[in-house]
Structures are given as C-alpha cells and as structure tokens.
Amino acid sequence: SSYEIFFASLLAIFVCVCVGLLVLSWLSVQELERAEADVNTHSYMGILKIVSGTSFTSTLQNSSSADFKVLAFDVEKLMFLYVIFASQYLKNNLPLPREPAVVVILTLYFTQMVTVEKIKHELVLGVIANNPNPTKALKIDVNSIQITGNIMRLPYCCAVIALIFIIPAECLPPAELCADGATCISEEFFCDGVLNCPDGSDESEKRCAAVCDGKFMLTGSSGFFHSMNYPKPYNENIVCQWIIVVPQGLSIKLNFTSFETQPYADELSIFEGLGQNKVLRASLSGTNLETIYIFSHEATAQFMSDYSENYNGFNATYTAFNASELNNYEKINCTFEDGFCFWIQDLDDDSDWERVQGPTFPLMSGPEFDHTFGNFSGFYISTPIGLGFVEEQVRILSLPLVPSDMYCLSFWYFMYGDNVYRLRVSISDEHGQERIVFEKEGNYGNNWNYGQVTLNETSDFKVIFDAFKRRGPSDIAVDDTGLTKGKCNEDNYVEPTVRPTAATTPLVPTDCGGPVELWEPNSTFSSANFPNNYPNLASCVWYLNAENGKNIQLHFQVFDLENIYDVVEIRDGRGPDSLLLGVYTEKGPLPDVFSTTSQMTVILRTDRSATRKGFLANFTSGYHLRPCSADKHQCGSGKCIPLHNLCDNIPQCEDGSDEAKCMRLLSGSLSTEGLVQARVGRTWHLACADDWSGEIADSVCQLLGLGDANMSSAVLFTGDGPFVTITKGGNHLIFTKREHCWDNLVVHLQCNIQSCGKRLVTENNGTRIVGGNDARREAWPWIVSLHFNFQPVCGASLVRDEWLVTAAHCVYGRQLKPSRWRAALGLYSQADLAQPPTVVLNIDRIIINPHYMRETKDSDIALMHLQHKVQCTDYIQPICLPEKDQQFSPGINCSIAGWGSIRNEGPSSDILQEAEVPLLSNEKCQQWMPKYNITANMLCAGYDMGGIDSCQGDSGGPLTFEDGDKWFLVGVTSFGEKCALPQRPGVYARVTMFVDWIKTIIY
C-alpha cells in the first residue's frame, strides 16, 4: 500500500542519516588522533561580551545544564567556529545600563602563528556575517572582543578550534570558587572533611588550618589539638575546626589533659562523621575533662568563642581503638566520673542526659551529690537541669551486647519530689523491638535507690535507659551502672517504697474521659469534676456536631479558670484545617461563640499549678446560622444582611464588616494606584471626576491604608459604568449613584504609601543575640519590645504606624485584655523606657492568625493594634512587608535582633542585641529538627556549628533581609530547641505566607 511505501522510505532515510553521522564522527576522531603527534599548535585566549539574547543565571554555572548547552551552541554558531569542548566561565559583574552582560572566555587553537589583530578581525567579521539581525537573536558586542595573546602550546593540528570556558570567576552566593577557577560549591562544603572541589582545594591545609593551632586534617592513629594560645587564654570571636580520620574499622577516643572555657558560651562541639551528614555527640564548656568516644573512624571538632571572658582553653588528644574488642562488662560498667563511658545519647529524643557534679538546679529535685563517692566531687547523669518549661524524654543506649546465659544489670537511681515522673529500663533486640524490664513512677525519697534486672537474652541486644520529665522541677538521676555474670541476687534487694504525693486536685482523668463527641440534644458539657476544681496537666477535647447545613452557637453558663496558664481554645471545624475562633481564660462572662461550619472543637488545657472551678457550657444549632445566600452578606456573628445594605454608612454588623472594604483601586500597574471604585450594595462603581477634591483623595487613600494622595487626575472613560459621585459627609464619604459622568471623566488616583524599611545605620557588626555585643542605637528602628503587666516578654515589628506583627504564642491566653500590654518603640535599653526617643503605647486590639496550632507551632503569627498612631522618627520606622511571591533563598544572611536571653535559660539582655544568621532550606531544617514538623509556613535560620541564635524573650521579633535599599520582614521568631546549639536552628513564621492576611487587616 501507499502507507507501507511511505514508512519504508522514512526508514531508509533514517538509516542513511545514522550511517552518515557515524562516518563523520569516525573521521573527526581520526583527525584528532593525527593531531596528537603535532607539537606546533598555538593557542590564544579571548574574551567577548553578550549584551542581549541571554541573561546570567546560576544554571549557567553548571556545564551539564540545558541552559549552558544552549548558550554554548548559540555562541559556536554565531562565531562560525568548530567547538570541541564547553566547560564553565560566566561573570556578571560588568553592568550595562539595563541588564548585566554575560562574559565569555574562549581559547582558540591554530596550527601556525597568527597575529592577535588578524584573529580579532576574523571574529568580528564572523559575528557580523552570522547575525545580520541582532535584535532577534543572541547579540555579541563586537567592540568587546579581545585577544590576549599566546597562552599555551597543545598537541593539536586542526584548522581553527575554539575552546569555550564558562568559568565562574565570581560565584553566586552562597557558593564559592574552587582553586581550579571553574567549579562553584556552597560555602558550607569548604573545610568539612569531604572533598567537593575536583582539585580538592576545598579541604586544603592552607585554607582550612585552624587559627587555634595551625592544624586541620588529623589522620594518624593518635594525635592532639588545642585551643588558640594554649595554655594561655584564647582570643575572642574565633572559630576553629579539626577533622579527625583514623583507619577504617576503628573508633575514636578523645581525652583532655586540660579544659577550661567560659561556661555555656565558649563551646567545643564533637561530631560523629564529616560534612553535612555529621551528627553532634557532645558539647563541652566550663571545666570538663570527660572522655568522649566516637564510634566511627571519622570525627569533626569545632571550637567557638564569643566576645567576652577568654579562659585558658583546652588541650585534647585522640587515639584510635577497636570497639569490636570491647566485652559486655566494659560496655555497661560506668561511674560517669570520666564521661558517659560507652553509653550513647539517642539523637531522636527530646533532649540529652547531662553529666552533673554536685546538686542540680533548682534545688527542689535531684540529688545533692553522686552515689559513687557520696560527695560533691563525684559525677552522675541527670535529666536536663533547669526550670523545665517543657515535658521531655531523654534516652541513652548501650552498644550491642553479646548474649550469654544470664547477666545481672544493676544501677542506682534518684527520683525525688512531688512532680517527678518516670524512669524506664528496656531491652532492644537486634530487630529494634523493645521490651520494658524495669519501670518506676513517682517520688522515692531524697536518697539514691538500688535497681537490678536479670537479663537472659538469646540474640544481640541493647540496654536502654529512658527518663520522662514533667514541666517544673522533676529531675531524675542515674549512677553506677554495672553488669555482672549470672542471675541477680534477689535476697539482697529491697524494693523501695514510693512516697505518696499530696493531691492538690481530685484524682480525675486528665483527658476528661475524651475526646468526647456531642450532638443535640446532648448539648451540655463541663470541665472534669465540675463544679469542683478541674485537674492539673489536663488536655481535654470536645467535638460539637450539628447537622449538615447548620451552624453552632456555643454558650458558657459558668467560666472560671486560672488566669493565662489554663485556657479554653475554641476552633471552627475539627482537625488541622480548623480555624481559631478564640482563646479564653480567667473568669466569665464570655460572649457566645458562633461557628461557620457544622462542627466546633473545644479544648481545655491546664498547667501543673493552681486550679479553679472550670466551666459549664451548652450549644445549640440552627439553620439561621448557615452560610448566607448569594444575595446576602454574612457578619462575623453569622447574621445575614442584604447586599444592598453594604457600604451605606449604616452599620448593621456588630463587627462592622458591612461598612469595610468599600473602596478599591482598579487596573493600576501598582497596588497603590488605579481607577477609583466605590462599592454601593453588591456592585462596584467608578468614581466620577466632578466634585472631586484633594481632601477626598486623601480620605480614599487613608481608607485603603496607603497614606495620603500623591496625585489624582481625570481620565477619559467611554465604557458603560456604573458610576458614582463621592462627596464628604462629616467623618465619612457619601456615594451617589450616577448614570454618566460629566465629559466621561473618571478619577485615577495614586496614593503615597508609607515609607518603610529605612534605617540610619547601614553596617552590622555580626554579633550574636546569644552571648553577643550590643547593637547600634538606630540600627533597627522597627523592632518593638512588648511588655505584659509591665514585664518584657516578647518582641514585635512595626509594619504600619498603628500595627505590629508578633508571634501568636506570645499573646496566646493573654489576648482578651489588650490593655495589659504595652509596646515600647524606639527602645535601645530596657532601662530607658521613660527616656526619649522611646515611645510607650497601649495596645487596644490583638488578632491571632486563625490557622495557628499551638501543638504544632504552625502559623505562629499575630497582629497587635496600637491605641494611637506612632509618629515616625529616626529611631521609629516601619519595616517593609514582602510580596507574597518574594523569594528568600537558603544561604542568604538575614538579621535578627532582640532583648532575649544571652544564653539558654540565662538572663535577658538589657541592651538590644543583633546577629546575622543564614537561611536554611526546609529540608535541611527538618533533618536537623526531626521531632518537629517543619511546614511551608515556617523557615529556619542558623549555623551548623550553632553559637548564634535567637533565644527566650526574642519570640515575636523580626528576622529581616536587606534587598536593595530597603529592609523586609522575612520571618517572625517562633521557636527552637534550647538556644544556639549545633544543628538546632531557630524556626520562624514565614511572613510571605501571611502577607495577604496581614494586609486585609491593616489596610
């Protein structure tokens, strides 16, 4: 058939083309092989500039990228030269009037000497001849073509050959250039012990040698390193890093002949492994002579000092050892006098066991001395000491033990105090299955108690110690772990007696028997034990349900909770997509709460301290609360009003929503300019130019939150309308419908939006909030110190002359009485609250983002309204809000500032502190913070080695970035794991995700 003939012809043509390409390739290879014998090849270096048709992007630094290959092909075609190889060379620091040029370096090879003038002339002719219409293709500036002369001799004897390099003489941040001049790698890959540059220059001793002792790569089976100037005091603000590599199959033992650094500030961090996958195993500071074991043949050590109090430092030695030669007794037996012995901290728990000497702090739980010596000189291990603001689980594991007939595991434990919780010992088999073999809960007295367990395992296993700590003083300690062969002697073992704890509240379930599902008519519910006091540490959930199409009205008959610390949270709907309706505390009465869906969630949370009577509530449902029909507007209370009542200057909604958003600007190229439209009922009307005035223009811009009018003009409009005339009537605007405008003229308005993101001080000294120097007085004019009941508790950012952005967790449970809040603007020192240029203003309104989830810390952002507008000065300026699609890439340095703690659980700073921290990808952050869910609404910033971070008291403060000549609010300080720990970055609310929500409220 004709189809068969057609396809057969296509196949024949395809085969011919393939054969032709193979022959051409073979001839080219033969020509190159013949060229190798010729030593008379001459080469020249040239440079040219591409001024249009392409622009510089980071993908052009990758010779494997499609963008690079396309550009190399186009340059080859344009020069009409035979291109043999394309590698990298691009530079974007030669600015042109409109866009940066792409600069290309090329190398030309000839079989005989050619003058540079001849080469340049031929290249210019070739570019002109091959690009007759430069406006439609790649354009090379022929005046930029330069030939730098003969640079090398290579064994080629071809006609004219070009070697185009696209080598990044300057890499895009945060990348840096390798010594080969051709490869860009991220700056964090330098000096990390892993070769990333092709020439290995990222790990060169010259570049990476520690300023402390001139060493970097330690590769022997033993060696040493020490702090700067040892045994004399080290310098301030130094960072030193060493890479330790011993023969594969061996492990590393670290000892210290001397150790003295500033406690909690100047730390030596020991990591297992190298590069980006290294894992923190120990952070040492103070006077610490413990032995560290790393069960890998590779380790990284990092030392960082801050700006103050330089001590004599340390001298460390390391030796290689074979962990497989350890017996079971060596793996378990430990007095903790020289460290954790061979016990390993679990990286996936909430925190770490701490090695302690003497009494714990605070003195309401935990031992006064160890068990081994029974005095202040000995060591033991304890759950994290401190005030304990969160519940925590800590875990240590043994190395794998070899099974035998029987072993007796023994240890001493200390569990004292009314608030102490649980100690558990488990066995983990070779498959990771765990079995509890010992568990104690409660108060066992102010003394050490003996514990023992007989082990009879048939396969490799590990021993695990878990301690569970409640909020508040609840330390648990362990000492003198041991292993002996044979069954434990039960005759000598006396079981300790748990001491009863005085009950401050009735013994009722802390979950209130829930979660509870409620439907009408069973619509009345209460807190546990009502009308008697509810329990401490309660977390109770009620789900209220109505029929589809109905909504819920919740009413509290009685409400009495401990102020701030015990709260009732009400959400519209249920689950992660539910929206926050309110957070209530203290005493009622409370207003009724309305849902917009057929479900409502009620949550009671109480702390460990005082309790109250609780609450009694009921709910009803009805069709009158369903979403309004299309011809009606729904008020915040659920009430429906006709659309023709919108924007009629007669408020009918309690929340005023029917008289809000009555003006807009249409079709402008910017959000601050466009044709003026007014809403009358359900329809938007164009504003006629007749009777328009500058006073009306100012009023419209102010209603839109865009400052005053910058310029208004009458423009011709020949469309159908509808139209409206706007006039002033007292404190409001009056809209009068019109069929036509005089002369068909409508109003185009440009508003002068408030200036933002400007500051007097441009330099940043790079100090840290945790242990850092003072900021300059005028450095951060948008930062605000928030005071609740006259005590500084959080930070905030000024984003308009009457609006602040802060963290939702700062105001959670404290938002019902805004009058208890004060905002200090222009503040530098907390001691200068009453001194100019500080301005202290009251708060009259607090709005928590409805998506905020306290459990997950997601959407941790809130708005606070100043009772009076603040007058901007050199010390008080708003920061710019980013556009919702504005990108802040991982690796860029952002600034943080605040008056928070200068170390974890330490004192707050009186003087404003500042720091720079690099942004991290959410993937890297999730890897470093595995126990949290890092969502798209969050971003992270911090250093691999820690040392610089926001801390307690900085919450709600700004994470900022300077783009051009303006500063933008990138993040709101949300949470972290302690402060400034290695691989524990600060987490911030990502402002770009909330810009639309913020603008709908403040404008």
Residues that are catalytic: 809, 860, 955
Q: How far apart are CA 921 and CA 985, in angstroms?
A: 11
Instruction: Provide the 10 A C-beta neighbour count for residue 965.
Output: 8
Torsion sign, CA atoms 437, 443, 444, 447: positive
Residue with structure tokens 């907390």? 830
- From CA 197, how far away is CA 181, in angstroms rounded? 10
Return the amino acid letter for 695: E
H-helix or E-strand containing 799? strand 791-800
Question: Would you mind telling me the total number of residues written for the chain in this entry?
Answer: 1003
Quick count: other Cβ atoms within 10 Å of Cβ 310?
21
Q: Is the peptide bond between 515 and the residue preceding it cis, with omega within 30 degrees of 0? A: yes
CB proximity list for 764: less than 8 A, separation 6 or greater: 779, 895, 914, 916
Q: From the DSSP assignment, how many helices (H) and strands (E) are in the chain? A: 9, 56
Cβ pair 589, 660 in contact under 8 A = no
Going by C-alpha positions, the residue among 60, 50, 51 that lies closest to residue 171 is: 60
Angle at 263 between CA 398 and CA 907, to 5 degrees: 115
Show the tokens assigned to 924. Answer: 């890297």
| Strand-pair partners of 429 | 461
Dist. CA 352–CA 986, nearest whole Å: 19
Angular region, 471: left φ>0, alpha ψ -120 to 50, beta rest = beta
Distance of CA 562 to the CA centre of its chain: 33
30 Cβ contact list (under 8 Å, min separation 6): none
475 contacts 420 by C-beta, under 8 angstroms: yes
CA distance 292 to 317: 11
Question: What per-residue string of b and e applies to 46-58 under the rule 16 or more CB within 10 Å gives b?
Answer: bebbbbbbbebeb
Helix (H) or strand (E) holding 20: helix 2-35
Task: Report how far residue 770's alpha carbon sits from residue 917's, in angstroms, rounded to the nearest whole number.
Answer: 12
* SS3 label, residue 700: helix
Task: Report the amino acid identity of residue 328.
Answer: N
Asked if 813 and 564 count as a contact pair (C-beta separation under 8 A), the reply is yes
Instruction: List all residues 6 or more positions away from 604 whose beta carbon is below 8 Å from its beta carbon.
Output: 512, 527, 534, 538, 539, 540, 566, 567, 568, 614, 615
The DSSP result for 584-624, as a single string, is E-SB-----EE-SSSEEEEEEE--SS----EEEEEEEEEGG
